[in-house]
A = this chain, B = another copy of it.
Amino acid sequence: MANKVESFELDHTKVVAPFIRKVTVYTGAKGDSLTKFDLRFMQPNLEAMNMPGIHTLEHLLAVYLREEALGDEVIDLSPMGCRTGFYLTIWGDRESSEIEEMLLNSLKKVLTTEEIPAANEIQCGNYREHSLEEAIEYAEKFLNSYK
Protein backbone atom coordinates (compact mmCIF):
# COMPACT_ATOMS: atom_id res chain seq x y z
CA MET A 1 0.00 0.00 0.00
CA ALA A 2 2.79 2.44 0.73
CA ASN A 3 3.41 5.22 -1.79
CA LYS A 4 0.45 4.18 -3.88
CA VAL A 5 -1.67 6.95 -5.42
CA GLU A 6 -5.12 5.42 -5.42
CA SER A 7 -6.59 7.61 -8.18
CA PHE A 8 -3.95 6.27 -10.58
CA GLU A 9 -5.42 2.77 -10.02
CA LEU A 10 -8.81 3.63 -11.57
CA ASP A 11 -9.26 2.83 -15.27
CA HIS A 12 -10.73 6.16 -16.42
CA THR A 13 -11.86 4.67 -19.76
CA LYS A 14 -14.16 2.18 -18.00
CA VAL A 15 -16.31 4.55 -15.93
CA VAL A 16 -19.56 6.33 -16.81
CA ALA A 17 -20.13 9.72 -15.18
CA PRO A 18 -21.80 10.92 -13.09
CA PHE A 19 -21.00 8.52 -10.26
CA ILE A 20 -20.03 8.27 -6.59
CA ARG A 21 -17.16 5.85 -6.01
CA LYS A 22 -15.69 4.69 -2.72
CA VAL A 23 -11.99 5.17 -3.41
CA THR A 24 -10.27 3.97 -0.27
CA VAL A 25 -10.55 3.54 3.48
CA TYR A 26 -7.66 4.73 5.63
CA THR A 27 -7.28 3.48 9.19
CA GLY A 28 -5.18 5.26 11.80
CA ALA A 29 -2.93 3.66 14.40
CA LYS A 30 -5.64 3.92 17.08
CA GLY A 31 -8.38 2.50 14.88
CA ASP A 32 -10.19 5.51 13.48
CA SER A 33 -11.16 5.11 9.85
CA LEU A 34 -11.90 7.58 7.14
CA THR A 35 -13.21 7.10 3.65
CA LYS A 36 -12.36 8.98 0.48
CA PHE A 37 -15.03 9.26 -2.21
CA ASP A 38 -14.72 10.21 -5.85
CA LEU A 39 -17.68 12.45 -6.73
CA ARG A 40 -17.46 12.42 -10.50
CA PHE A 41 -19.47 15.00 -12.40
CA MET A 42 -17.96 14.78 -15.89
CA GLN A 43 -16.89 11.98 -18.21
CA PRO A 44 -13.08 11.64 -17.97
CA ASN A 45 -11.20 12.92 -21.02
CA LEU A 46 -14.40 13.92 -22.81
CA GLU A 47 -15.77 16.75 -20.65
CA ALA A 48 -14.51 19.03 -17.88
CA MET A 49 -16.00 21.77 -15.72
CA ASN A 50 -14.83 25.37 -16.04
CA MET A 51 -12.85 26.75 -13.12
CA PRO A 52 -15.32 29.48 -12.05
CA GLY A 53 -18.08 26.85 -11.74
CA ILE A 54 -15.79 24.39 -9.92
CA HIS A 55 -14.67 27.11 -7.53
CA THR A 56 -18.25 28.12 -6.74
CA LEU A 57 -19.28 24.46 -6.29
CA GLU A 58 -16.32 24.03 -3.92
CA HIS A 59 -17.62 26.91 -1.77
CA LEU A 60 -21.22 25.68 -1.87
CA LEU A 61 -20.49 21.98 -1.27
CA ALA A 62 -18.09 22.85 1.57
CA VAL A 63 -21.06 24.41 3.37
CA TYR A 64 -23.92 22.16 2.21
CA LEU A 65 -22.16 18.80 2.73
CA ARG A 66 -21.30 19.88 6.28
CA GLU A 67 -24.93 20.77 6.84
CA GLU A 68 -26.01 17.35 5.57
CA ALA A 69 -23.41 15.46 7.59
CA LEU A 70 -23.43 15.21 11.35
CA GLY A 71 -21.25 18.02 12.62
CA ASP A 72 -17.56 17.45 12.07
CA GLU A 73 -17.73 14.36 9.88
CA VAL A 74 -16.47 16.05 6.73
CA ILE A 75 -12.68 16.29 6.62
CA ASP A 76 -12.12 17.60 3.12
CA LEU A 77 -13.93 18.45 -0.10
CA SER A 78 -11.57 19.37 -2.92
CA PRO A 79 -11.71 19.69 -6.69
CA MET A 80 -9.72 17.32 -8.90
CA GLY A 81 -6.90 18.76 -10.96
CA CYS A 82 -8.52 17.16 -14.03
CA ARG A 83 -11.66 19.32 -13.54
CA THR A 84 -14.04 16.34 -13.77
CA GLY A 85 -15.09 16.06 -10.12
CA PHE A 86 -14.28 16.35 -6.42
CA TYR A 87 -12.80 14.20 -3.68
CA LEU A 88 -14.70 13.99 -0.41
CA THR A 89 -12.91 12.69 2.68
CA ILE A 90 -15.11 11.84 5.66
CA TRP A 91 -14.71 10.11 9.04
CA GLY A 92 -15.74 6.46 9.26
CA ASP A 93 -15.76 3.46 6.94
CA ARG A 94 -18.71 4.51 4.79
CA GLU A 95 -20.45 3.21 1.71
CA SER A 96 -21.34 5.23 -1.38
CA SER A 97 -25.01 4.71 -0.59
CA GLU A 98 -24.56 6.70 2.65
CA ILE A 99 -22.94 9.58 0.77
CA GLU A 100 -25.51 9.60 -2.01
CA GLU A 101 -28.27 11.34 -0.05
CA MET A 102 -25.85 13.91 1.38
CA LEU A 103 -24.58 14.78 -2.08
CA LEU A 104 -27.96 14.82 -3.83
CA ASN A 105 -29.47 17.01 -1.10
CA SER A 106 -26.49 19.36 -1.30
CA LEU A 107 -26.78 19.62 -5.08
CA LYS A 108 -30.48 20.39 -4.79
CA LYS A 109 -29.58 23.27 -2.47
CA VAL A 110 -27.14 24.53 -5.13
CA LEU A 111 -30.05 24.88 -7.58
CA THR A 112 -31.79 27.46 -5.41
CA THR A 113 -28.70 29.30 -4.18
CA GLU A 114 -28.74 33.05 -4.73
CA GLU A 115 -25.47 34.09 -3.15
CA ILE A 116 -22.04 32.44 -3.10
CA PRO A 117 -20.79 32.14 0.49
CA ALA A 118 -17.36 33.64 1.28
CA ALA A 119 -16.81 34.99 -2.24
CA ASN A 120 -14.92 38.05 -1.10
CA GLU A 121 -11.32 39.22 -0.84
CA ILE A 122 -11.05 38.38 2.86
CA GLN A 123 -12.35 34.80 2.82
CA CYS A 124 -11.40 33.59 -0.66
CA GLY A 125 -8.12 33.24 -2.57
CA ASN A 126 -9.61 34.22 -5.95
CA TYR A 127 -12.91 35.95 -5.27
CA ARG A 128 -13.31 37.25 -8.84
CA GLU A 129 -13.30 33.73 -10.31
CA HIS A 130 -16.75 32.42 -9.49
CA SER A 131 -19.83 31.47 -11.49
CA LEU A 132 -23.07 30.59 -9.76
CA GLU A 133 -24.62 29.95 -13.19
CA GLU A 134 -22.04 27.29 -14.01
CA ALA A 135 -22.29 25.75 -10.54
CA ILE A 136 -26.06 25.42 -10.96
CA GLU A 137 -25.58 23.97 -14.48
CA TYR A 138 -23.18 21.28 -13.16
CA ALA A 139 -25.41 20.45 -10.19
CA GLU A 140 -28.39 20.12 -12.53
CA LYS A 141 -26.44 17.89 -14.92
CA PHE A 142 -25.43 15.60 -12.06
CA LEU A 143 -28.96 15.40 -10.66
CA ASN A 144 -30.48 14.74 -14.09
CA SER A 145 -28.06 11.97 -15.14
CA TYR A 146 -27.30 10.24 -11.84
CA LYS A 147 -28.83 6.77 -11.54
Contacts and interface: CB of A to CB of B under 8 A. Distances in A.
B45 A125 contact: yes
Interface of A is mostly: loop
A126 B71 contact: no
A91 B122 contact: no
Contacts of A125: 12, 40, 42, 44-45, 48, 80, 82-85
Interface string A99-124: 00000000000000000011001111
Contacts of A81: 51, 54-55, 57-59, 78-79, 126
22 contacts: A1-B72, A2-B71, A3-B71, A7-B62, A8-B62, A8-B118, A12-B122, A26-B91, A28-B33, A28-B91, A29-B91, A30-B30, A30-B31, A40-B125, A44-B121, A45-B121, A45-B125, A45-B128, A48-B125, A51-B51, A81-B126, A84-B125
Given A48-B129, A76-B87, 9 more contacts: A3-B66, A3-B67, A5-B62, A9-B123, A12-B121, A12-B123, A30-B32, A45-B127, A78-B79
Interface of A: 1-5, 7-13, 26, 28-34, 36, 40, 42, 44-45, 48, 51, 54-55, 57-59, 62-63, 66-67, 71-72, 75-76, 78-85, 87, 89, 91, 117-118, 121-129
